[in-house]
Amino acid sequence: MKKGWERLTLLSSFEGWSYRVFGRFASKFLKSVFEFKGELEKAGIKIYSETYVSMMFFAGLVTLPVTAVALVLIYFTHFIPLIFLVPLPLYIMIVFMITPSMKGGERASALEREMPFVSAYITVMATGGISPYTSVKRLSKVDLMPAMRRESREIIRDVEIFGIDPLSALEHASEAHPLDIYRDFISGYASTVITGGDIAHFLESKTHDIFKARAMRIKAAADRLGMLLESFIIVMVLMSLSFYILFSVDAIYSTGVSMYSSMLLYTYVFAPLLSVVFIYLAHDMQPKSPMNDWRPYKVAALSSALAVLVFLLLTGMMGIIQFPIFDFIKNLIDLPTAVSITLVIAMVPPAMVHSKNSRRKSEIEKGIASFLRDLTETRKTGMAPEKCIENLSKRNYGTFSKELEKIASELSWGIPLRQVFEDFMKRTKSWLSQLVIFLLVEAIDVGGGTIGMIESLTRFNNMTQEVEKEKRMNSRPYIIIPYFAGIMLMATTLLTLMFVGKTVTLATEGMGSRIDLNAISITFSVSVITHVFIIGLVAGKIGEESIAAGFKHSALLVIITLLASIFVPKLVTL
């Protein structure tokens, strides 16, 4: 508490000094150069625009001594890289200027994925007689939708602390929000209430529009990700192909350590950095989920430790320790094969864990969709929701059947429905499944699970399933590209080495010099295998929204590339 108060005091004093020094200039800047007020409201930054601009200029003023010191050091030491510190005040001001727009974009993207379920929740609650503001209050306590929880708390603050009526608070929340579908939904509801329109009809039709808009955005995102994957393949494969051809020719004609330095720098420094850039771009384009499954990454850490131990054994402890058995293994297994075995051992266990978890998650989501359809029909007989669930537990819903049987047995023991489904939500790692079950429990809780409410929930869940299915189908064809790229990269590099090496050998045959083509081929094979391993990770992130999904692609690419390095030279020499 004391540290938090100290930080608040420090921030307040910084704001105060900034406004004292640059307050008048900030007002002129806002009138004539740039208006920050709207951007700050969209970003959710609770500060006056004059104070924010004053802080920007004051931060630039504080960093001016760094510029002066950098200029002095450049003059006396001639250390040119210090020139990047000269415009530090300008960097600080640029950061201040772009931060509101970045924060606004993050706020919009965080709510965009939750918005279809928010509108579905409000619509389902409205069919049970619950007002949207009451639904917003309930959403303020829901951890499954953190972005909407923050927005709900802002609305509740305006109503319960500042005394604004709920309708005006909803209108005010929508006016300054960066997400267009949220603005349309909230402001449309307020207009419908004011004009006396059919609120239930508006909410349902608007929810349908939001789901359709979501489907169109996901399709457009899939197209953009496909273009991003194509760009990545063009950059990482065609550029790498050109570089490796140059590196191979240079390695044959050069001698000493410098013959490999450019290739090693490209493979182990430049290519990974470029891959990180593409992963960041893919992460920015893809819809975000507030729930992450860290189990594959934990398994990857353990299997990587085992893989390092295997690599040391296969390479004879990198020549540090001399044993006859190590020499035998080194003669039996060359370095590219050892590296490939190491990478496969590191990636196969987490790939299996991720595939198992993804398959189970997909099967549970499909099972829940079928269960909701059957629940709607069974509910029409007049049975209570709990009794309907017990009867449906005897049907086959795939992986979800085991969970449904457990739910039915707990209900038969007299455990409350909400507690039963909350226990199920803790067992599953699917955010979509948890949301659907949450909506079902809320619908039953507020209205007894009427037929209309469950039908609405079933319809919205089917639309979500169709959107996710279309997204997977659109991105699937692009995953094949890296496999052809890996084979082409290895084959072209080795063929270039062979042809150029033979040409140089024939040209220098009578001069007594000889090129160790085998050593050069081993070095390049290891580099290409490492390169395609990185390509697999990025392909998984772009194609399936997870680096863990790239584990299997990396393992398969490493195996295929290793086989290409073995069989391509043999095919050429036939």
Q: How far apart are CA 384 and CA 448, in angstroms?
A: 8
Q: How far apart are CA 151 and CA 142, in angstroms?
A: 12
Q: How far apart are CA 111 and CA 439, in angstroms?
A: 17
Higher local confidence (pLDDT), 458 or 87: 87
The residue type at 571: L
Taking the CB of residue 54, how many other CB atoms lie within 10 A of it?
A: 26
Lowest mean pLDDT among 205-209, 404-408, 418-422, 499-503: 499-503
Crossing angle of helices 295-314 and 335-379, in 10° steps, is: 160
pTM (predicted TM-score): 0.75
Taking only Cα atoms into account, the Rg of the chain, rounded to an integer number of angstroms, comes to 31
Q: How far apart are CA 354 and CA 134, in angstroms?
A: 39
**How far is CA 417 from its chain centroid?**
34
pLDDT digits (tens, 9 = 90+) for 380-404: 777 777 788 788 888 888 888 888 8
Q: How far apart are CA 257 and CA 407, in angstroms?
A: 66
Contact 124, 448 (CB under 8 A): no
pLDDT > 60? residue 255:
no
pLDDT digits (tens, 9 = 90+) for 78-136: 777 778 888 888 888 888 888 888 888 888 888 888 888 888 888 877 777 778 888 88
Q: How far apart are CA 460 and CA 120, in angstroms?
A: 7
Q: What is the DSSP string of 301-330?
A: HHHHHHHHHHHHHHTTGGGTS--HHHHHHH
Q: How far apart are CA 64 and CA 60, in angstroms?
A: 7
Q: How far apart are CA 449 and CA 383, in angstroms?
A: 11
Q: To the nearest whole number, what is the mean pLDDT of the chain?
A: 78
The confidence score (pLDDT) of residue 124 equals 77
Q: How far apart are CA 456 and CA 444, in angstroms?
A: 13
The confidence score (pLDDT) of residue 10 equals 43
Pick from 320, 293, 429: nearest CA to 365:
429
- Token pair in block for residue 118: 């928010």
Greatest C-alpha distance within the chain: 99
What is the average pLDDT across 52-68?
86
Q: How confident is the model at residue 370 (pLDDT cuts 50, 70, 90)?
A: confident
Q: How confident is the model at residue 7 (pLDDT cuts 50, 70, 90)?
A: very low
Q: How far apart are CA 246 and CA 258, in angstroms?
A: 14
Lowest mean pLDDT among 232-236, 246-250, 339-343, 551-555: 246-250
Contact 82, 115 (CB under 8 A): no
pLDDT > 80? residue 307:
yes
What is the average pLDDT across 283-299?
79
Contacts with 390 (C-beta within 8 Å, 6 or more apart), sequence order:
408, 411, 412
The confidence score (pLDDT) of residue 349 equals 92
Q: How far apart are CA 283 and CA 550, in angstroms?
A: 14
Q: How far apart are CA 201 and CA 207, in angstroms?
A: 10
Best-predicted range by mean pLDDT (21-35, 418-432, 555-569): 555-569
The confidence score (pLDDT) of residue 350 equals 92
- Report the chain's terminal Cα–Cα distance, integer Å: 77
pLDDT digits (tens, 9 = 90+) for 479-515: 777 787 777 777 777 777 777 666 656 655 555 455 5
Task: Give how far Cα 475 sits from Cα of 223, 339, 486, 553, Å.
Answer: 8, 30, 19, 15
The confidence score (pLDDT) of residue 517 equals 67
The confidence score (pLDDT) of residue 502 equals 67
pLDDT > 70? residue 363:
yes
Q: What is the DSSP string of 4-71?
A: HHHHHHHHHHHHHHHHHHHHHHHHHHHHHT---HHHHHHHT--S-HHHHHHHHHHHHHHTHHHHHHHH
Segment holding 211, helix H or strand E: helix 199-233
Give the angle subtended at the CA of 143 by the CAs of 141 and 145, to the nearest 5°. 100
The confidence score (pLDDT) of residue 303 equals 92
The confidence score (pLDDT) of residue 505 equals 61
Contact 307, 351 (CB under 8 A): no
Q: How far apart are CA 456 and CA 225, in angstroms?
A: 32
